[in-house]
A and B are shown apart, each in its own frame.
Chain A
C-alpha cells in the first residue's frame, strides 16, 4: 500500500489515460465493422468488367465509400468532424431534373404562363430574390383537358439560357411552341417590368397526331443535353423523342419507342406515370429517362443517344417481381450506358400488402446493380449493407402516423453514384 500511496496520482493518471485511449482505439477499430459486400443474384460478374461504379453509403456523421472495379469491391469507412448536411430526395426539383443551385416554378396566370427562377441553397430551400419570365402560347383548353405533367416539366436549361414549352395534355387545341424566355427581376430596380423582355419562339410543333388527325398528342416535358433540346411527347401509343438545335430550332432527330402510354394519374396498370425522371449526361450526349408504372413494379428505363440525331439505345422494361416495388419516397435510380451495356444501380423496397401505408416505408430497402445488354438483363447483384438498420427505431414506433422522417443527418442513404 505505501507504494500506491506514494504514486497515487501517477497511477490514477495512467488509469484515466488507458480509459480514454482505450475508448478511442475501440471506436476507431470498429469503424470497418459494418457489412458491405456484393452478392451475385443472376448472371456472371464478368458483366462488370471494364467499368468502375463508385459511390457512398452515408449519413451526416459518417460514410462508407465504395468502389466496384471490374467486379472487385473496395470500401473505405470514415467519420465527419463537423456533421454534414447531405440533402434529401426532396431537394427542389424542376420537373424531372435537379438544376444545381436553382429551381423553376411555373404558373398559369390567365392564359399566360409565368416562370419564376429561384436560387436555392445547399439544403434545397429557396433563398433571396427571384426572377420572372412570361410566355403566352396560342393554346386553348377544352373543358376538363389541361396538362399532362406539372407545368415545370416544360423547363429546360442550357447554361444561362432557359427554354419553355407547355406540357399540354392530349386534346389541347392550338400550336406547340418551345420558347427561349427572358427573365427580369421581380420588383426590380425599375419596379414591375414587362414587354421589354419578349421571349423568342425557337421551335413550333403540331399538337395533332401525324397518323390520326382526330387525336392529339400529349407533351410530357422538355429536356436539354449539351446544346440540344429534347421534346418528349406521347402520341399514337408511342413515346416520341425529338431533338432540336437550341439556336436554330432545326430538327436533328426523331425517335419513337412503341407500346408506350402515360398519364398524369394512370388508371390502367399498363400505363406509365407521366411524371418521369431524367438525367442528362453531356459528355456522351445521352439522356437517361426513368418512367414508373402505376403498380411501381415495372419501371421503364431508356437511354437515348443524341450524338447523331436521336436513337433509343436501350429500352428496358424492368420486372421487379411480386415481392418488391420502386420506392417513390426515398428510392433512387442511377443509370449509365457504357461499352454497349446499360448499368443501373437502384434501390427497391420490399412489399407487404398487410401493412398499412405508412408502415410500408419502413420495409427493407435493397440496393441492386443491373446490367443490360441489348435491353436484356445479363447480370444482377445486390449490395448487402446495414442500410435498413437505421429504420429499426421507425419500425417499432407506436404511432408512425405522426410522420416519419427522412432526416439525411440520421438516416443512411446511397449518394454520389458515378459509373465510369
Chain B
C-alpha cells in the first residue's frame, strides 16, 4: 500500500509540475484551430465553394496544429526527463528516495499518457465547436460569386456532424470505429509514449542498442499511420490491422519491461 501511496503522491506532484506547460499547450491547441476554421469559412464564402466539414477542417490547418502540439508535448516529455540531470541533478535525489524506483518510472509515463489523452480529447471538442461555428455561419448567407443564398439551398447537411466524423480520416484515427481500429489506435498510443521514454532511458544508461527497437517501432508507427490516414484509398486492397497492432503491442511491452529494469537497476545514474 505504501508503494501505491508513494506512487500516487509522485504522480500528482509530477503532474502539477507539468500544468503550466500543459495549460498553455491546451489553450493554444483549442484557440488556434477555432480561429483557423473561422477564417477558412470566411475564405469559403469569398470563393463561393462550400467544402464538406471534414475537408474544411483538414484544409484549415487544424490537423497540423494538433500535430505540432503533439510534437511539442513529446519534446516536453523528453525535457522533463533530462531536466533532472541538469542544474539541481534531482534524479540522484529521486533515485535515493524510499518511494521505489518503479514508481518513478510509472508516474512519469502516466503523466505523459494523461496529457496526451487530454490533448486528443480536446480535439473532439475542437471538431465539435468548429462544426457549430460553421453551422451557425451557414444560415442566412449569400455566396459572393454564384449569388446562391441559404434560401435557395440548405447549405448544411442533415446529420452532418455524424457524417463529418465517420468520413474524416483524422477523426477515424483519434476516435476509431470498430474493434480493430480501436486496438490499432491504442497500440499506437502506447508504443509512442513508452518508446519515447525507453529511448531516453537507453541514451542515459548508454545502452545504445536500445535505439534499434525504437527505430523499428518508429518505422512501424509511420507505416500504420500512413495506412490509416488514407484508408479510403486502400479500400480495394485492405490490410488487416491486427498483425501490426500486435507487433506494436509487443514493442510497447518490451519497452516497459526493459525500461523499468533499467530504472530499477539504477543504470541511469
Contact = CB atoms under 8 A, between A and B. Distances in A.
Contacts of B146: 396, 398
Interface stretch (A248-256, A304-312, A387-395): A387-395
A16 B114 CA distance: 7
Interface in A355-374: none
B129 to A, nearest CB: 12
B137 interface: no
B88 interface: no
A389 B158 contact: yes
B63 interface: no
Interface residues of B, number: 56
A410 B167 contact: yes
A23 B165 CA distance: 10
B158 A386 contact: yes
B48 interface: yes
B158 A35 contact: yes
A390 B157 contact: yes
Interface residues of A, number: 49
A81 interface: yes
Interface string B152-166: 011101111111011
| From B51, B121, B179, B234, residue with most partner A Cβ within 10 Å | B121
Contacts of A13: 114, 117
A323 interface: no
Given A30-B162, A84-B235, A9 B110 contact: yes
A389 B120 contact: no
A119 to B, nearest CB: 15
Q: In the complex, which of the residues A20, A33, A395 has the most CB atoms of chain B within 10 Å of its own CB atom? A: A20
A5 interface: yes
Interface in A1-46: 5-10, 12-13, 15-20, 22-24, 26-27, 30-31, 33-35
A81 to B, nearest CB: 3
A395 B159 contact: no
A79 B124 contact: no
A322 to B, nearest CB: 21
Interface of A: 5-10, 12-13, 15-20, 22-24, 26-27, 30-31, 33-35, 59-62, 79-85, 121-123, 386, 389-390, 392-393, 395-398, 409-410
Interface of B: 11-12, 14-16, 19, 47-52, 55, 110-111, 114-115, 117-118, 120-122, 124-125, 127-128, 143, 145-146, 148, 153-155, 157-163, 165-167, 175-181, 231-232, 234-236, 238
